[in-house]
């Protein structure tokens, strides 16, 4: 599992692609830089729990988007041409930054650690 921001690149192995789905436990948001091969195409972001968002793509790359979802959900993106036909125009998705909430076990471990530090400090004060 990826926790906190992590940066990755998603590359096409056979040219271009039109669909991408991200789903992982505790996923909250993802930042993407989509490298499209042509202008005039549209990308649709769809969350498992929210509305669909539509954005125009530029063929020069630098198409930065942030997609939000609720924990334990995911999202997908699809690209279409101006006629509404799905089109394989994504060459690469650069700088994929995934933000996820820590697991409950992480919070529990942090609380136990803070309690242990508190006990040590308290014992030191009573010994003086």
Rounded to 5°, the CA angle 98-78-102 comes to 20
45 vs 60: CA distance, rounded Å? 20
CB 31 within 8 A of CB 55: no
Q: Give the per-residue pLDDT at 117.
A: 93
Domains (range + CATH), the chain: 6-103 (2.60.120.260)
* Prediction pTM value: 0.61
The answer, yes or no, to whether residue 2 has pLDDT greater than 50, is no
Higher pLDDT, 1 or 76: 76
């Amino acid at each position: 599992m990826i926790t906190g921001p992590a940066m990755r690149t998603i590359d096409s192995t056979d040219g271009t692609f039109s669909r991408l789905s991200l789903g992982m436990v505790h996923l909250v948001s993802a930042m993407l830089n989509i490298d499209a091969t042509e202008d005039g195409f549209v990308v649709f972001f769809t969350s498992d729990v929210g509305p669909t968002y539509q954005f125009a793509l530029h063929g020069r790359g630098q198409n930065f988007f942030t997609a939000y979802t609720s924990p334990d959900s995911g999202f997908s993106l699809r690209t279409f041409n101006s006629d509404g036909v799905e089109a394989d125009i994504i060459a690469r998705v650069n700088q994929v930054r995934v933000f996820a909430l820590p697991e409950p076990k992480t919070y529990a471990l942090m609380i136990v650690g803070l309690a242990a530090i508190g006990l040590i400090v308290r014992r030191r004060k009573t010994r003086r």
